[in-house]
Amino acid sequence: MPKLNRFTIEIETGETGTDLPVHFTINNHKMPLEDTQGGVGPAETFSGGFEIGSFVHSLTLVGPESGQWDVRKIKMDYDCEHTPPYSVVFDTVTLDDTTEVNIWQDPPLPTWDV
């Protein structure tokens, strides 16, 4: 597992939005996102990030404290040590006060032309 220096997240909200702040968990520690922009209302786009500087066992986006949150798309940009930066897009998911969604993906496999 690589050391994650920093990640940025861009969240597109669907029909049902929620309230700020948006929290994530890193290895089960709940944190607010930093450098945030935008909103999490219906059809709004929100972005943020965090300097992690640690090894990731789990990374999740935490659901709202109450009600539901329709997430249309989550785009993650990862900056890991010894690995070129990479991005992953997660598909639609609905979160509530009982759920959090995984937002960690291992770096892609090396691929080259032969």
Partner 1 sequence: MSVLKKLSQMFSGSDSKQQVAGETVSEDPKPSDSPSAFAEEPPVHRRVIQASVIAEEAKASGSSDQILIKAEPSRDYEQCKFMVNRPLFEGHSWLFSNFEEAAGSPLAEAVFSVESVETLLVHESTAVVTKTGAKGLSDWEALAKEVGGVLRKTLKAETDLVSKDIVAKIPAEEVVKEEIQKVIDTEVNPGVAGHGGNITLTAITGNTVTILMGGGCQGCSAADLTLKQGIHGAFRKAVPYVGAIYDETDHAGGLNPYYR
Q: Position 86: which residue type?
A: Y
Q: Judged by CB under 8 A, does residue 45 bind partner 1?
A: no
For partner 1, the closer of residues 44 and 96 by Cβ is: 96
Instruction: Give the span between the Cα atoms of 6 and 73, in whole angstroms.
Output: 20
Q: Judged by CB under 8 A, does residue 80 bind partner 1?
A: no
Least distance in angstroms from the C-beta of 64 to partner 1: 11
Q: Which of 1, 2, 31, 85 binds partner 1 (CB under 8 A)?
A: 31
Instruction: Give the span between the Cα atoms of 111 and 50, in whole angstroms.
Output: 28
Instruction: Give the span between the Cα atoms of 39 and 19, in whole angstroms.
Output: 8
Rounded to 10 degrees, what is the CA torsion of 62, 77, 35, 31?
30
Beta bridge partners of 74: 11, 90
Least distance in angstroms from the C-beta of 39 to partner 1: 20
Q: Which of 32, 67, 84, 85 binds partner 1 (CB under 8 A)?
A: 32
The contact set with partner 1 (CB under 8 A) reads 23, 25, 28-32, 58, 60, 62-63, 71, 73-74, 88-93, 95, 97-102, 105-106, 109-114
